[in-house]
Structure 1
């Protein structure tokens, strides 16, 4: 047992299959010096009593308090990091007005490295406090500020996947906020990739560069082709938006005479380490292509409710073999909480199944077999996110990173409605998913290191 750097004793919830929540009651979780789970010991295992007798009272032994539970850290698959500075602003506007009146002017300010540091430091700390241990970020077109975001993730202990945004098309991007030309966009992207890979060598939890065309309408053909080649050269993750809205879906069809998914694939941008945000308007062939290439969907239910023009049929896409994770889409989604987005995923799916137009009869109003359970939403926020990124995160089992949030259901600022000492543990799990706020998250650990403590 000397190879364990931390041992935790308590009850935990983790995902099995998509609809399955596994309850690990009074288990021991043994974590090595690299921050990886080396052993999960059940009360009936031979080693259980021995480990407790030998380790209890030592600094590395952590026994959870009554009312505390362990959940995997959340994996957020879609965040516009600079937009944290406008979160909760003007979400009643049409998308194009919102972008040009608020978003693009704000993102252009990240040429100011001091402003970038203030916003990014606050965002990373806020996400960690909300239980998000792994985050996939869009930064801005600015190489220096984008690298600063990776440095802040490394310093604060979050597993950050960061992309310097490319938006070089002069017809689709405002003059005050775009890459000066395609050659510069690609050269700075490559420099960014190399710098983040070097930073990662000294970062225990990992930081990762991400090839990031903002979306097809923002980029020239040459930029898209060059980004696909850079992703292949350096084996990086890839992120973009795909078929988010009626406008985007139609624009790509008109420009390329094919759907967004196939256009992206033609540039080498759909592969096992690709995450595409939104994807509301994928057609059957697009879904098959996502499944075949291993491309994941970053599902952003709150953001979609504001700007996507429809409810994505996540249940159908998942049944067809597409990997799914959850995203906040700060700031089109006005909350840093994946708890909030898990709830909205369930709500939106029920609205899709039941329909919203009450002038239609019930049998014509909705889309059958669309609803999600909270179990599935929890899976997407944890294990599904980890699988989408091809990283060993999001599960509480051997050979996964010790990325966890310790939830205190008895926090006096937000005591959960649990009154029966013998309440069913699955019911407690559901109450956690529906009621937890940051004040309930007593500790957050990433790669075996404590990064939040209340």
Structure 2
């Protein structure tokens, strides 16, 4: 009787470190009933041929075709799920105006469960089709539709970390879109946490509740304190925005006379399971606090180009030991693809290093040492995201979840420019990073189950 639930054969790319790619050429990947990678077997291993003989021709044997490759499933650390309905809209106005004119009116509609079902169902399917097997979601202030998002993730096979958003300050939030009061916000959050934990008992790939103050400007001190206590009580994930742009960073300094990071920490919201979005304006003391507390950064390079007023020095933060992954920030970021975002991460880092003001002398124009490679950006989209969430995801190696996307470089309608059958595999990897579109992603698997195919 076959020992493994599934056996896969093919060439995989995975992160060996934050700067180095590992190429597993023609390996076997043995997946157990829990959807975990139990064994990774090289062609020269003595077990390789006997296993191949035992599984070939069986329904649970999966062999990649020529020109196909495995990548880890992507980990998206920052998605505003309701904003999928406005992606590509109004990105030409400042953040404060964008929120109040477009975003908050849209999010208020998610009290309607039918509307929420339509948008969330489409979003989760779209992210899976783009290779994203794990997503960290902001929902809305509505407890019921936030739970619906977690249920859709569970049903479709995506690993969803979902937060019911807290916006309780009547001075800072629109009358038609906020929590009724602080007590209601905290009670709804606790009920949401318990409901998602219950849902998780029957969800193979996992769903997780996330304590989610939208950001400091939308919350009262009492709400922030209560949310920190709930995170501690349930050992829950925490997410928020931190020092995203000039407006938010300045608002927190005016209110608390300290930077966002230290204000959040005072309320118990920086912890090993915390992921803070953007973080463009962190200084070195803030970064050290992130490192000490185990707080991760969700780097959203496309969104930052529109709304953050700066380029985040991601290489500097990483060098100081901060955990960093990538986020699409739908819809401040218009694209649901982490391929698009990892490309932009590289582009933005080069612009930060070289500078953008041609009237300045070259030596004064940029910030030396800021560039990252596409290998590093791939790490952020995969293993970096997994480390940020403290989950065994984002790598193709033993004791990690079988979360993979199968990339076909030989699609007749969209063939990648690979003309030498013996082309260096690292060069093939780079072409996949820069040129893959959704149609190249032929299958997506999460926790050992197929969740998308085309």
TM-score normalised per structure 1:
0.99
In 2, the alpha carbon distance for the partners of 1:123 and 1:284 equals 36
Alignment partner, residue 430 of structure 1: 430
Between 1:138-147 and 1:90-99, the stretch displaced more is 90-99
Q: Secondary structure of 1:70's partner?
A: strand
Alignment partner, residue 187 of structure 2: 187
Alignment partner, residue 240 of structure 2: 240
In 2, the alpha carbon distance for the partners of 1:411 and 1:219 equals 49
CA positional deviation for 1:98: 1.3
In 2, the alpha carbon distance for the partners of 1:2 and 1:225 equals 53
**Contact 1:413 1:439 survives alignment (8 Å):** no
1:294-329 deviations in Å (ceiling 9; x for gaps): 000000000000000000000000000000000000
**Contact 1:153 1:160 survives alignment (8 Å):** yes
**Contact 1:405 1:442 survives alignment (8 Å):** yes
1:383-435 deviations in Å (ceiling 9; x for gaps): 00000000000001110000000001112232111111111100000000001
Alignment partner, residue 392 of structure 1: 392
Matched, 1:77 2:77: yes
Q: Secondary structure of 1:147's partner?
A: helix
Alignment partner, residue 155 of structure 1: 155
CA RMSD of aligned residues (A): 0.6
Alignment partner, residue 109 of structure 2: 109
Matched, 1:347 2:347: yes
In 1, the alpha carbon distance for the partners of 2:76 and 2:297 equals 12
1:128-152 deviations in Å (ceiling 9; x for gaps): 0000000000000000000000000
Between 1:404-413 and 1:390-399, the stretch displaced more is 404-413
Alignment partner, residue 375 of structure 1: 375
In 2, the alpha carbon distance for the partners of 1:427 and 1:72 equals 18
1:319-340 deviations in Å (ceiling 9; x for gaps): 0000000000000000000000
In 1, the alpha carbon distance for the partners of 2:417 and 2:3 equals 40
Alignment partner, residue 44 of structure 1: 44
Q: Secondary structure of 1:4's partner?
A: coil
In 1, the alpha carbon distance for the partners of 2:92 and 2:256 equals 31
**Contact 2:2 2:55 survives alignment (8 Å):** no
Following TM superposition, the consecutive aligned residue runs of length 4 or more in structure 1 with deviations greater than 4 angstroms are none
CA positional deviation for 1:54: 1.3
1:63-120 deviations in Å (ceiling 9; x for gaps): 1000000000000000000000000001111222211111000000000000000000
Aligned length: 454
CA positional deviation for 1:382: 0.2
CA positional deviation for 1:6: 0.5
In 1, the alpha carbon distance for the partners of 2:119 and 2:247 equals 30
Between 1:405-414 and 1:260-269, the stretch displaced more is 405-414
Q: Secondary structure of 1:121's partner?
A: helix
CA positional deviation for 1:254: 1.1
Q: Which residues of structure 1 form unaligned runs of 5+?
A: none
**Contact 2:159 2:206 survives alignment (8 Å):** yes
CA positional deviation for 1:2: 2.9
